[in-house]
Amino acid sequence: MFELNRRFAPAVLFAVGVAFGLQAQAKVSPEEAARIGTELTPMGANPAGNEIGTIPPYSGEILGVPDWVEYKGSGTFYPDPYPGEEALFEINAGNYQDFTDNLTDGQIALFKAYPSFKMPVYLTKRDTRYSDWIHEQVRINAVNAELVEGGNGVRNAFGAVPFPVPANGQELIWNHVYSPNPVFSSGQSLGATVYENGSISTLKRFEERYFQIFDSNIARADYDDIAAFAMSTVTEPARDKGKIVLIHEYSDLTTTPRNAWQYVPGSRRVRRAPTIAYDFPDGPGGLRTVDDALLYNGATDLYTWKMEPMRELFVPYNNNALDDPSVSYETLLTRYHINPEYMRYELRRCRVVVAELKEGKRHLYHKRRFYLDEDSWGGVLADAYDGNGRLWRTNMRTYVNLYDMPGMGPRVEMYHDLQMRAYLVYGLVNEESGPPRLDAEWSSAFFTPANLRKLGSR
């Protein structure tokens, strides 16, 4: 089925011109919305495969745990839904030039910089679906959701992606921000920076998250504009143990910017933390910015956003082996990049959105390009460029079937700094108690400054 470059020419499914203005956008018509779930998938994707058969049609046959998978429940390892499959072929430093039509600038840069970088390519799967409730919210959003004035937020969106038939790049990036995520999650994971000399700096956090905007127990009319809450507690290293950050994220970031508070054990006080946004450095070594997390999060007001033609790209997908508890951190954290033996890439159609820094605005990145998985709308790849137009960082995010969500959802994030020749990995759970539990529940009252103070003084 698979051959080299000529068989992987990108299929452009739609073309767009320049970015639309950032004023509130018109909703799609009922007739256009009626295509969702009929001519389009329930999430608004193209249900057809590509012409040469290297991308299959959407089936949506799997909801939750497949019959053949033995899954032990929330908070435990997600077993591979495609056990025993072998890679179709491998892309490496010796042959990547045969596949450049299906690689990003960042992936090409990794092949050029590191002869050890490899991409094992597997059959593409489009079997997993989301719940009927999420699909219904997508249809409702299509005729109700709109950008706020200026584009720095959304209104009348709830439960899923706001713009299943996007008109411009601003709508695309908000689809990424509100691509399906677990309503609740609770667990400890490792962040690790691997430097050029092989030394490793680590940070462990216990994170509790509540995506209120995805909560089916809330009536759409009762949603109060707080999209998400997060409480993050450092557990290692010892010098930072006990530091806690609380974040409130809003749907309309023009009216209500992100609120953040921090508890520092040394002072035993809760303080507002206005810098936890934009390009404030985050994680061991500071190899990502705060708005790099999840590949992109937070306010969009520093950039103009332009939709580019869709591309077929090799992206991380169905990466269950990367979470395997039998695989140690020592095995995974090889120099220059994560151990490619535990990665899986599939050829998938990706929506593309480019962010360019506005005149007079300041950010470490002057240009960013994001690649969103067609079926989930979630970002899977991203490239960031410095003020001289040079590629600086290239990032990726793995996806697996979160059986307890259920549906395809993000797992491990990787940030490669091409200038430092170092990389940061976030979300490793192999030597922890397991991936985040998704069956925990909190009310919004848990995520308050008063409770932050109580948790910090324990």
Q: How does pLDDT run across 313-328, given as a tens digit for each residue?
A: 999 999 999 999 999 9
Residue 3: its pLDDT value, please? 39
Residue with tokens 């591309």: 311
Q: Please calculate the CA angle 453-297-139 and round it to the nearest 5 degrees.
A: 110
Residue 56: its pLDDT value, please? 98
Half-sphere exposure of 340 (CA within 13 A, CB side): 18
- Give residue-wise pLDDT tens across range 335-355: 999 999 999 999 999 999 999
Residue 12 has pLDDT above 70, yes or no: no
Give 411's pLDDT tier (boundaries 50, 70, 90).
Answer: very high
The whole-model pTM stands at: 0.93
Q: What is the mean pLDDT of the chain?
A: 93
Span 5-456 CATH architecture: Clam (2.50)
Amino acid at 260: A
> Is 243 exposed, middle or buried (CB count within 10 Å of its CB: 0-12, 13-18, 19+)?
middle
DSSP calls for 182-234 = -SEEEEEEEEEEE-TTS-EEEEEEEEEEE-GGG-TTS-GGG--SEEEEEEEEE
For 243-265, what is the mean pLDDT? 96
Distance CA 334, CA 320 (A): 18
Residue 26: its pLDDT value, please? 52
- Give residue-wise pLDDT tens across range 166-197: 999 999 999 999 999 999 999 999 999 999 99
Residue 20: its pLDDT value, please? 33
Beta bridge partners of 417: 393, 422
Q: How many CB atoms are located within 10 Å of the residue 280 CB? A: 14
* Structure tokens that stand for 279 in this block: 């390009």
* pLDDT > 70 in the chain, percent: 94
Of residues 334, 352, 302, the one with CA closest to residue 414: 334
Query: What is the 8-class DSSP label of residue 112?
Result: H
For 243-258, what is the mean pLDDT? 96
Distance CA 385, CA 393 (A): 7
Residue 15: its pLDDT value, please? 30
Distance CA 455, CA 263 (A): 9
Give 8's pLDDT tier (boundaries 50, 70, 90).
Answer: very low
Q: 89-93, 204-208, 282-286, 364-368: lowest mean pLDDT where? A: 282-286
Give 458's pLDDT tier (boundaries 50, 70, 90).
Answer: low
Give 275's pLDDT tier (boundaries 50, 70, 90).
Answer: confident
Domain ranges (residues) in the chain: 5-456
For 364-383, what is the mean pLDDT? 98
For the chain, the distance separating the N- and C-terminal CA atoms, rounded to the nearest angstrom, is 59
Q: Report CA dihedral (217, 222, 226, 230) to the nearest 10 degrees.
A: -20
Residue 228 has pLDDT above 90, yes or no: yes
DSSP calls for 300-328 = -TTEEEEEEEEEEEEEE-S-GGGG-TTS-
Residue 27: its pLDDT value, please? 82
Residue 369 has pLDDT above 90, yes or no: yes
Buried/exposed 400-422: b ≥16 CB within 10 Å, e otherwise:
bbbbbbbbbbbbbbbbbbbeeeb
Instruction: List, in order, residues 6 or more apart from 450 with CB less than 8 Å away.
Output: none
* Structure tokens that stand for 158 in this block: 């709830």
Contact 373, 317 (CB under 8 A): yes
